[in-house]
């Protein structure tokens, strides 16, 4: 990120030549200095010390975040800090009272020199209840990992707290690490030493926005259309997943996104920090990613492919448009323990997810029919959620358990509503302008350091477009009315069409299960009520085969839903490996995925009179 003051530039020069700065006794700096020692891990904990800035009041709160931007759920990172001490310049302890999970009250704060504490990692204690109503587990990409000598995932909200009222001060972060570990981050290292890094941020929010990962394999970089793409991968030693194997597809995807965004995107560096979980009891369980303005943290299982990575990053990279360049004052001035939540997830997540799909057809990465199929699938999945719920109300109250359950709909109905607005804009402008152009105008008007007014953006959005867009925003996003998608798609010549579609779950065909669970033996067994399961037939599965693993993922007999989901959304003709037990002998069945098909619906282009507008909408010549 950019250096925003002469003071920080000066500090940078000093740090680069002299190593980490120290504070002279009696002379207080107007900055916060964080020191993390990864070379002295003890009991799976890391030691952290933070040198305090000048404090003029008698007491001060030291705090960890309860919630960070982009997660939409309570984390309470302070739960993972222990042995908290506040010390004066002579090393004497000051009186401290822990008020709650995230807050310590420090007495005699005017003579405070530093605080120290030890940090546990979150990966060791996950319960995989990330998105349930009462879940308290931190979603893995927002979490932390301490794996001595192999990997450290530093989402900084889990390692560095802040002094209340001092969040806008600059931060200097010094991390000592083994020379055999390599850092990955979007931040610039200010120290040339091979076993130490020094980073600087203009304020605490910028620190939280820049995760750092250390791995026993180095990161690799590539230049893509004037953008430095850094890919850091940690994987268990026996894994075949490497940064080199993934980079080519990542480069191609980001190159397409850069072309799609054009002048809107001027990001200089983007870091993709990828953690491959072993799936062990004490390892990460939350598969997915968390966006940051200049980086993404992602967690995958060992059977991931480069397509898995690009599918996820295609969404996260578009966050460089919103909320990086277009965001509310509530995000700009985020309160990490009592935030006012923005109403505009329809923009931050809905429009982002729409662009993540739309760019693929615009850049010829997928065909039109595949794009229509994906949007149709979103319509079907969105029906699981409340179709008449106000999106602005949901966003502003997303921490409420009832609203938290509705959150996944921002990626479904949110994206679909963005599609409808894009079509309206194209129609009203006779093809000359689209939703991407509107977001580009907002990006120029605002940018990373200038937020929009929380309650004024909908009227501003309308003024940049057409009254018809304003009507749509009011009716469907503010009030929450259901959307007739067919009405909008018909404007670009697209109508519903009968189609043969694959069965969603390979083990359940026409509501008929082809597996059964033997609870006594704790086994999942192949069952053949008839001979019509194409997936099993192609691989050569037989009645009574004990199913052990599908693509290295174990069948768990205690959870029928998990078993069924192993066979969910398999892609036809992709390689599949099924480990079974037959007559006491383990066998590996391999082959291409083949699926059963059923009568269904999709969308198709049928009205040639709308050809020109449809091409403008899909940004195709």
- Secondary structure element (H or E) that encloses residue 313, with its range: helix 306-317
Q: What is the pLDDT of residue 196?
A: 97
Backbone angles phi, psi at 469, to 5 degrees: -70, -40
Q: Cα dihedral sign for 487, 489, 491, 497?
A: negative
Nearest to 273 by CA among 249, 240, 250: 250
- Tens-digit pLDDT profile for residues 293-345: 999 999 998 878 888 899 899 999 999 999 989 999 999 999 999 999 999 99
Residue carrying structure tokens 């699926």:
595
DSSP conformation class of 74: -
Q: Cα dihedral sign for 419, 424, 425, 427?
A: positive
Q: What is the pLDDT of residue 307?
A: 85
Residue carrying structure tokens 């889990």:
158
Is 422:465 a contact under the CB 8 Å cutoff? no
Residue carrying structure tokens 């302008």:
433
- Secondary structure element (H or E) that encloses residue 377, with its range: helix 368-382
CA distance 128 to 142: 13
Q: What is the pLDDT of residue 510?
A: 86
- Secondary structure element (H or E) that encloses residue 248, with its range: helix 243-261
As a dihedral over the C-alpha atoms of residue 570, residue 309, residue 276, residue 294, rounded to 10 degrees, the angle is -150
CA distance 444 to 264: 8
Distance, C-alpha 145 to centroid of its chain: 17
- Tens-digit pLDDT profile for residues 419-456: 999 999 999 999 999 999 999 999 999 999 999 999 99
Residue carrying structure tokens 């609203």:
403
Nearest to 557 by CA among 506, 517, 516, 584: 517
Which fold would CATH assign to domain 6-214?
Immunoglobulin-like (2.60.40)
Q: State how far the alpha carbon of 620 is from the alpha carbons of 167, 485, 613, 617, in Å.
A: 46, 22, 10, 8
Nearest to 15 by CA among 403, 546, 29: 29
Q: State how far the alpha carbon of 187 is from the alpha carbons of 3, 172, 200, 309, 453, in Å.
A: 11, 11, 8, 22, 29
Tokens of 282: 């004490």
- Contact residues for 608 (Cβ-Cβ < 8 A; gap 6+): 493
- Contact residues for 79 (Cβ-Cβ < 8 A; gap 6+): 101, 102
Is the overall model pTM greater than 0.75, yes or no?
yes
Is 421:468 a contact under the CB 8 Å cutoff? no
The CA angle 414-417-423, to the nearest 5 degrees, is: 145
- E strands, 398-449, where? none
CA distance 28 to 53: 6
Stretches in the chain below the pLDDT threshold 50: 1-27
Is 314:158 a contact under the CB 8 Å cutoff? no
Intrachain domains 6-214 and 217-320 with the same fold: no
CA distance 315 to 371: 15
Q: What is the pLDDT of residue 11?
A: 28
Backbone angles phi, psi at 135, to 5 degrees: -60, 140
Q: What is the pLDDT of residue 426?
A: 98
323 prior amide bond cis, ω within 30: yes
> 3-class SS at 232?
strand
* DSSP β-bridge partners for residue 64: none
Q: What is the pLDDT of residue 24?
A: 39
Tokens of 57: 């009041």
Q: What is the pLDDT of residue 133?
A: 60
- Contact residues for 84 (Cβ-Cβ < 8 A; gap 6+): 62, 96, 98, 104, 115, 116, 117
CA distance 110 to 235: 46
Q: Where are the domains of the chain?
A: 6-214, 217-320, 504-595
Q: What is the pLDDT of residue 504?
A: 81
Q: Which CATH superfamily is domain 504-595 in?
A: PDZ domain (2.30.42.10)
CA distance 68 to 75: 8
The per-residue pLDDT of the chain, averaged, comes to 91
Which fold would CATH assign to domain 217-320?
Neutral Protease; domain 2 (1.10.390)
| Number of CB atoms found within 10 A of residue 206's CB | 20
């Amino acid at each position: 990120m950019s250096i925003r003051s002469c003071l920080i530039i000066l500090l940078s020069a000093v740090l680069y030549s002299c190593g980490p700065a120290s504070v002279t006794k009696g002379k207080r700096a107007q900055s916060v200095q964080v020191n993390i020692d990864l070379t002295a891990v003890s009991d799976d904990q890391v030691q952290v010390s933070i040198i305090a800035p000048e404090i003029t009041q008698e007491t001060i709160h030291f705090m960890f975040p309860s919630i960070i931007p982009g997660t939409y759920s309570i984390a309470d990172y302070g739960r993972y800090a222990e042995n908290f001490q506040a010390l004066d310049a002579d090393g004497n302890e000051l009186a401290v009272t822990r008020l709650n999970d995230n807050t310590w009250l420090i007495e005699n704060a005017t003579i405070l020199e530093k605080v120290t504490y030890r940090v546990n990692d979150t990966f060791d204690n996950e319960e995989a209840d990330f998105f349930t109503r009462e879940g308290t587990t931190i979603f893995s990409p927002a979490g932390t990992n301490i794996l001595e000598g192999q990997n450290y995932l530093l989402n900084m909200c889990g390692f560095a707290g802040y002094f209340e009222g001092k969040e806008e001060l600059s931060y200097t972060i010094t991390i000592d690490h083994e020379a055999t570990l390599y850092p990955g981050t979007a931040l610039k290292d200010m120290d040339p030493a091979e076993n130490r890094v020094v980073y600087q941020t203009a304020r605490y929010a910028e620190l939280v926005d820049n995760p750092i990962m250390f791995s026993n394999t180095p990161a690799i970089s590539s230049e893509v259309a004037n953008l430095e793409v850094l890919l850091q991968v940690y994987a268990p030693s026996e894994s075949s997943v490497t940064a080199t194997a993934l980079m080519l597809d990542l480069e191609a995807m980001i190159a397409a996104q850069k072309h799609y965004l054009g002048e809107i995107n001027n990001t200089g560096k983007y870091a993709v920090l990828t953690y491959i979980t072993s799936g062990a009891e004490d390892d990460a369980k939350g598969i997915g990613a968390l966006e940051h303005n200049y980086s993404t943290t992602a967690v995958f299982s060992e059977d991931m492919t480069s397509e898995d990575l690009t599918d996820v990053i295609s969404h996260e990279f578009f966050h460089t448009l919103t909320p990086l360049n277009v965001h509310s004052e509530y995000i700009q001035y985020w309160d990490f323990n009592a935030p006012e939540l923005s109403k505009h997830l329809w923009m931050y997540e809905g429009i982002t997810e729409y662009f993540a799909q739309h760019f693929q057809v615009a850049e010829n990465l997928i065909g039109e029919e595949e794009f229509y199929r994906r949007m149709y699938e979103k319509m079907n999945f969105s029906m699981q959620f409340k179709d008449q719920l106000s999106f602005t109300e949901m966003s502003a109250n997303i921490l409420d358990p009832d609203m938290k359950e509705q959150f996944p709909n921002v990626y479904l109905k949110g994206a679909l509503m963005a599609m409808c607005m894009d079509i309206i804009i194209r129609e009203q402008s006779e093809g000359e302008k689209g939703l991407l152009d509107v977001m580009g105008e907002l990006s120029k008007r605002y940018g990373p350091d200038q937020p929009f007014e929380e309650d004024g953006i909908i009227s501003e959005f309308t003024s940049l477009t057409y009254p018809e867009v304003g009507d749509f925003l009011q009716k469907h996003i503010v009030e929450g009315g259901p959307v007739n998608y067919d009405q909008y798609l018909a404007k670009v010549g697209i109508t519903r069409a009968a189609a043969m579609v694959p069965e969603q779950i390979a083990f359940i065909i026409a509501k008929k299960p082809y597996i059964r669970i033997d609870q006594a033996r704790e086994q999942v067994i192949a069952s053949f009520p008839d001979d019509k399961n194409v997936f099993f037939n192609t691989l050569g599965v037989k009645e009574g085969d004990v199913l052990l693993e599908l693509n290295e993922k174990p069948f768990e007999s205690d959870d029928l839903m998990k078993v069924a989901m192993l066979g969910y959304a398999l892609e036809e003709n992709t390689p599949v490996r099924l480990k079974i037990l037959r007559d006491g002998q383990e066998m590996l069945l391999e082959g291409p995925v083949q699926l059963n098909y059923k009568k269904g619906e999709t969308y198709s282009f049928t009205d040639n009179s709308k050809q020109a507008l449809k091409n403008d909408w899909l940004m195709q010549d």
